[in-house]
């Protein structure tokens, strides 16, 4: 039986929408849906600062 390991925190500079763990992390961190995260990344690119500006939210880290 495989052991479960806790994943480290995703990169705080970029949002990888192909990484489900990172996508869920950022959705919770920014208090928006994963769909909004994906749409924002597709619109402005993967930089967290650009995504937060697009969504008009402040990260809490």
Residue 60 pLDDT greater than 70, yes or no = no
Per residue, the 3-state secondary structure of 7-47, as one string, reads CCCCCCCECCCCCHHHHHHHHHHHCCCHHHHHHHHHHHCCE
| Band (44; pLDDT cuts 50, 70, 90) | very high
> What is the pLDDT at residue 50?
97
Residue 49 pLDDT greater than 90, yes or no = yes
Q: What is the pTM (predicted TM-score) of this model?
A: 0.79
* pLDDT (mean) for 26-39: 96
Residue 4 pLDDT greater than 50, yes or no = no
The rounded percent of the chain whose pLDDT value lies above 90 is: 70
């Amino acid at each position: 039986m495989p052991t479960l390991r806790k994943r480290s925190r995703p990169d705080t500079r970029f949002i990888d929408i192909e990484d489900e763990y990172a996508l869920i992390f950022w959705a919770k961190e920014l208090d928006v849906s994963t769909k909004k995260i994906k749409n924002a990344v597709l619109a402005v690119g993967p930089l967290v600062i650009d995504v937060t500006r697009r969504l008009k939210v402040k990260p809490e880290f």
